[in-house]
Amino acid sequence: MIKILVVDDESSIQAALVYALSREGYEVETAADGQEALEKVETFLPEVMVLDVMMPRVSGYDVCRKLDGQPRPAILLLTVKDDIVDKVLGLELGADDYMTKPFDMRELLARVKALSRRGGYAQQMQQDQQQDVLSLGDLTAEMFSCTVSIQGELLDLTPKEFDLLVLLMRNPGRVYSREMLLEKVWDMDFAGGTRTVDIHVQRLRKKLGTHHGLIQTVYGIGYKSMAHPR
């Protein structure tokens, strides 16, 4: 059973989310602030965390910062602010998706489902025993464990970063528009627009270090992975 951690200091929102997510078959735990959330990430081990931004003690942004560089769940941020700057900040801190309060519960459930599937690409390739490992230059992606390494050194990727990289690695040299990447990786029309693709690519390149050139920009269109890495 997929585990979801709901983090919000408003008891009414907590209760509504627990009810809706439980009806969908998820195992749900709650936390009332960021500090409690950090503790439950270690003990409950959720696949997805629905995380409010504005909370006492430790904010949602601070939770993202503290989890940076560690194994962690996919993060769906909830914010009352409709400012694009705040949303971009959340994505840059490692969140995978965000929604503005008040939100439509059906849309939230769809987004949680998309995050819990880890994009779908890894699952497709787990079923294909001949393609359970992808390689591109010094980069290796293992579908069964959902891990990526460079010359044996593991990279700490978020679920969406993993999905995005796997898609590009599966089709080296193929150009994907930002809109195509949104549709295929986020599995829906993402409210953040194409800016979120650029942010995830930027984060991926940073984590790839000296191998950042494996992901190439096709100006005016989108991105591709290098077909024949040197």
| Per-residue model confidence (pLDDT) at position 119 | 38
Same-domain pairing of 89 and 10 = yes
How does the average pLDDT of the chain come out, rounded? 84
Which domain, by its residues, includes 190?
121-225
Flag whether pLDDT at 83 surpasses 70. no
Q: Which of 99, 116, 133 is the last residue of a domain?
A: 116
Same-domain pairing of 23 and 111 = yes
For position 141, which CATH number holds?
A: 1.10.10.10
Same-domain pairing of 147 and 109 = no
Task: Point out which residues pair with 29 in neighbouring strands.
Answer: 5
Give the SS3 label for residue 34. Answer: helix
Residue range 15-50, pLDDT digits in tens? 999 999 999 999 999 999 999 999 999 889 899 999
Residue 133 lies in a domain: yes
Flag whether pLDDT at 125 surpasses 50. no
Residue 30 lies in a domain: yes
Residue 126: pLDDT band with limits 50, 70, 90: very low
Residues 70-84 as b or e (16 or more Cβ within 10 Å = b): eebbbbbbbbeeeee
Report, as an integer, the average pLDDT of 197-214: 92
For position 35, which CATH number holds?
A: 3.40.50.2300
Q: Which of 73, 90, 116 is the last residue of a domain?
A: 116
Report, as an integer, the average pLDDT of 152-177: 89
Report, as an integer, the average pLDDT of 80-108: 83
Q: Which of 116, 143, 165 is the last residue of a domain?
A: 116
Residue 230 lies in a domain: no
Q: Which one-letter amino acid corresponds to residue 146? A: C
Percent of the chain at pLDDT > 90 equals: 44
Residue 192: pLDDT band with limits 50, 70, 90: low
